[in-house]
DNA sequence: ACGTCTGTTGCATCTTCTGCAACGTTCATT
DNA sequence: AATGAACGTTGCAGAAGATGCAACAGACGT
């Protein structure tokens, strides 16, 4: 809507690919160098972009701290965290929490597996939207026309032989997930990794987040993982209850559950 | 430098305080509602801002994934991580890695304590710049005039009785840190928490990052923590060596050490 | 010492952003 | 049920600010 801002913001994903110099940025934006310079300077003043010693630009630290604050504003995260930890204590596997926003699904919390062999993942990373259990859960809740629209604009990369191959298959899978109230990813992303997930619902009954337990084949088989399903669902339901119930949030700052984790003020 | 972009970017820290509606944003920016609307729309298109169901705006998920990518581009982080883990295995305490950028010092990696009593901190959170051991290490390396300039524009919040009280004291402390090549924070931020840190240097000999070990009083006394100093310094030096040495980075994508942690492609 | 490459500045032009005022909705009030 | 307020949204004319150009400066390698 605003050309200047639009151009400036386009620089960010560009730099996310790696550091770039002025000329490169100008080229990619399709503008004159002097224009790119001014945009970069503005981004720099706000700390979103950093100029490293070789003069090239890369994403700045302010971006990281902003993202940090963004996550701390997510109520679901605060509420869910202790439940995720407890679940991890019970089963020992990696536990993820994810939300859906625009056309991304991303992990917003994670409790590491206590087994030596762990899967790789990172908070903030967008998930493989066509195969991940949490993605299926979140998309399955969308109204039918939107679900269809989304499904059709996705790519369907074949990570493994068991990846969802195309839109019709994906829509069928969503239908199934919607009916049964839980989802799996059995080697659809990484051959050797399986997940079981369940939805977390808000007060309006819509799916607000999704959680999953993941474990590599070498630790437990898919069948063994599936025996955890009741536990996962109970946990998800517990979070749903707390999230949709009278959330004890005194709005602007949430001193209650925040102080629960950090006894004094603004923690290190 | 560019007014429009400047205004748009000012919205981000504003929303970091918590969700806000259009009127509020316009007020805080000092512009007309329609102007604010256009800016927000542009931010929205880029996913940096999200519109929640009550129509209020908050920071968007794209911000989180961008920050993620920003961190993954930091070579020091990749290199340091295994060393941090090893140090944690040896001493059991919380290990932090921090860098300095513009006027912030922030944690970019962390390995959790293996003791039940843990300190609270989070990757991406700016540190208390006047007291944290890592902050002292990073600032101590700046050229004298800049150090002085920075020191004078800081606030000196008295977190505890042992917090650095003012600029002269801080400058003296930096001098000391610079000479001895390591730093501490003994209850300067949280009464009961102590830290010991050491600098990580790049090929040019300048301090590129800093690491520290933190532990609460109830686990080990300050004196006991100080006995870890040689270990911490050895670790920092090992990282320095690897970082300043011939870093095996085939630039654009870093397939080498990335693939070391994730056997196949783009992990979950 | 020369040439090339990259970043930087000042300026005139014109695109694009801004604020206004009017409209459409939604929600609370009477 | 009707009225009013508050908020978000749109089109438009004027004005302010962004753009590209061309010329300069500085670094680097030859």
Together in a domain, A54 and A121:
no
Q: Per-residue pLDDT averaged across A190-198, rounded?
A: 94
Is B70 within 8 Å of A62 when comparing Cβ atoms? no
Together in a domain, B181 and B138:
yes
The residues, any chain, with a CB within 8 Å of residue B182's CB and separated by 6 or more, are B137, B196, B197, B198, B199, B229, B232, B233
Confidence of residue A187 (pLDDT cuts 50, 70, 90): very high
Which residues of chain A neighbour B46 with C-beta distances below 8 Å?
A: 6, 9-10, 12
Query: pLDDT at position B259, please?
Result: 34
Together in a domain, B112 and B229:
yes
Together in a domain, A33 and A142:
no
Q: d(Cα B217, Cα A207) in Å, to the nearest integer?
A: 43
A34 CA from C2 C1′ (Å): 27
Asked if the structure places residue A268 within a domain, the reply is no
Structure confidence by residue, pLDDT tens digits, A45-81: 999 999 987 889 999 989 998 998 888 888 888 889 9
Residues of B from 25 to 64 whose C-beta is within 7 A of strand D: which are they? 33-34, 37, 55-56
Instruction: Point out the residue among B64, B132, B268 whose CB comes nearest to the CB of A127.
Output: B268
Confidence of residue A252 (pLDDT cuts 50, 70, 90): very low
Contact assessment for residue A131 and residue A188, using Cβ atoms and an 8 Å cutoff? yes
Interface of B with A in 92-111 (CB under 8 A): 99, 101-102, 104, 106, 108
Query: pLDDT at position B257, please?
Result: 38
Together in a domain, A44 and A124:
no
Phi/psi of residue A254, nearest 5 degrees: -105, 75
Asked if the structure places residue A60 within a domain, the reply is yes
Q: d(Cα B165, Cα B223) in Å, to the nearest integer?
A: 23
Q: In what order do the strands lie in the sheet with B104-111?
A: B104-111, B94-101, B207-216, B193-201, B183-186
Contact assessment for residue A80 and residue A73, using Cβ atoms and an 8 Å cutoff? no
* B2 contact to strand D (CB, 7 A limit): yes
Q: For strand D, which nucleotides have at least one atom less than 7 Å from a protein CB? A: 6-11, 16-22
Tell me the nt nearest to A3, Cα to C1'. Answer: C16
Is B101 within 8 Å of A50 when comparing Cβ atoms? yes
Number of domains observed in the structure of chain A: 2
Confidence of residue B268 (pLDDT cuts 50, 70, 90): very low
Q: d(Cα B98, Cα B204) in Å, to the nearest integer?
A: 18
> In angstroms, how far is the first alpha carbon of chain A from the final one?
39
| Better-predicted residue by pLDDT, B76 or B164 | B164
Strand partners, B196: B184, B213
| Chain A contact present for B6, CB below 8 A | yes
Asked if the structure places residue B268 within a domain, the reply is no
Indicate whether B246 pLDDT > 50. no
Residue B193 domain boundaries: 74-244
Asked if the structure places residue A249 within a domain, the reply is no
| Chain A contact present for B176, CB below 8 A | no
Asked if the structure places residue A99 within a domain, the reply is yes
CATH code, domain carrying B190:
3.30.450.40
Is B61 within 8 Å of A252 when comparing Cβ atoms? no
Asked if the structure places residue A80 within a domain, the reply is yes
Together in a domain, A148 and A238:
yes
Q: B14, B47, B67 — which closes off a domain?
A: B67
At what angle are helices A3-16 and B3-16 packed, to 10 degrees?
Answer: 60
Contact assessment for residue B1 and residue A42, using Cβ atoms and an 8 Å cutoff? yes
Instruction: Point out the residue among B68, B101, B261 whose CB comes nearest to the CB of A60.
Output: B101
Together in a domain, B29 and B82:
no
Is A39 within 8 Å of B126 when comparing Cβ atoms? no
Together in a domain, A34 and A121:
no
Indicate whether A141 pLDDT > 90. yes
Indicate whether B265 pLDDT > 50. no
CATH code, domain carrying A36:
1.10.10.10
Distance from CA of A86 to the nearest CA of B (A): 14
CB atoms inside a 10 Å sphere around CB B236: 27
Together in a domain, A51 and A153:
no
Confidence of residue B116 (pLDDT cuts 50, 70, 90): low
Is B5 within 8 Å of A122 when comparing Cβ atoms? no
Together in a domain, A144 and A234:
yes
Q: d(Cα A250, Cα A20) in Å, to the nearest integer?
A: 44
Of the candidates A261, A10, A73, A74, which has an alpha carbon nearest to the alpha carbon of residue B13?
A: A73
Q: d(Cα A99, Cα A127) in Å, to the nearest integer?
A: 10
Tell me the nt nearest to A32, Cα to C1'. Answer: D20
A57 CA from D24 C1′ (Å): 23
A32 CA from C9 C1′ (Å): 14
Tell me the H-state helices in A22-115. 22-29, 33-45, 61-72, 75-91
| Chain A contact present for B260, CB below 8 A | no
Structure confidence by residue, pLDDT tens digits, A202-226: 877 889 999 999 999 999 999 999 9
B147's torsion region: left (phi>0), alpha (psi -120 to 50) or beta? Answer: alpha
Indicate whether B105 pLDDT > 60. yes
Q: d(Cα B191, Cα B180) in Å, to the nearest integer?
A: 24
| Chain A contact present for B8, CB below 8 A | yes
User: In which element (H, E) is residue A47 found?
Assistant: none
B interface mutation test: which of A19, A43, A67 has the most B CBs within 10 A? A67
CB atoms inside a 10 Å sphere around CB B122: 14
| Chain A contact present for B62, CB below 8 A | yes
Asked if the structure places residue B133 within a domain, the reply is yes
Q: d(Cα B151, Cα B60) in Å, to the nearest integer?
A: 34
Place of tokens 């911000």: B63
CA of residue A262 relative to chain centroid, distance? 25
Together in a domain, B130 and B42:
no
Percent of chain B exceeding pLDDT 70 equals 89
Query: pLDDT at position B253, please?
Result: 34
| Chain A contact present for B24, CB below 8 A | no
Of the candidates B233, B174, B152, B245, which has an alpha carbon nearest to the alpha carbon of residue B203?
A: B245
Asked if the structure places residue A251 within a domain, the reply is no
Distance from CA of B3 to the nearest CA of A (A): 8
Confidence of residue B205 (pLDDT cuts 50, 70, 90): confident
| Better-predicted residue by pLDDT, A168 or B244 | A168
Percent of chain A exceeding pLDDT 70 equals 89
Together in a domain, A162 and A180:
yes
| Chain B contact present for A31, CB below 8 A | no
Q: Residue-wise over B182-217: b if at least 16 C-beta within 10 A, else e? A: bbbbbbbbbeebbbbbbbbbbeeeebbbbbbbbbbb
């Amino acid at each position: 809507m605003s050309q200047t801002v639009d151009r400036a913001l386009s620089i960010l994903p560009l730099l996310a690919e790696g550091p770039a110099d002025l000329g490169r940025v100008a080229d990619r934006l399709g503008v004159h160098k002097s224009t790119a310079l001014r945009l970069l300077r503005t981004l720099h003043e706000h700390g979103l972009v950093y100029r490293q010693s070789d003069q090239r630009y890369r994403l700045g630290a302010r971006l990281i701290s902003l993202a940090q604050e963004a996550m701390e504003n997510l109520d679901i995260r605060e509420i869910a965290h202790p439940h995720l930890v407890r679940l991890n204590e019970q089963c020992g596997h990696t536990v993820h929490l994810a939300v859906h926003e625009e056309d991304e699904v991303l992990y917003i919390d994670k409790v590491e597996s206590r087994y030596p062999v762990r899967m790789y993942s990172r908070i903030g990373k967008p998930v493989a939207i066509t195969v991940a259990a949490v993605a299926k859960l979140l998309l399955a809740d969308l109204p039918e026309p939107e679900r269809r629209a989304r499904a059709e604009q996705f790519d369907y990369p074949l990570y493994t032989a068991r990846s969802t191959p195309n839109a019709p298959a994906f829509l069928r899978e969503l239908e199934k997930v919607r009916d049964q109230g839980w989802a799996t990813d059995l080697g659809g992303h990484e051959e050797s990794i399986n997940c079981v997930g369940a939805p977390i619902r808000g007060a309006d009954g819509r799916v607000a987040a999704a959680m999953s337990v993941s474990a590599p084949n070498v630790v437990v088989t898919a069948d063994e993982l599936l025996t955890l399903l009741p536990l996962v669902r109970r946990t998800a339901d517990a979070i749903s209850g707390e999230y949709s119930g009278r959330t004890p949030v005194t709005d602007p700052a949430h001193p209650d559950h925040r102080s629960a984790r950090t006894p004094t003020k603004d923690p290190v």
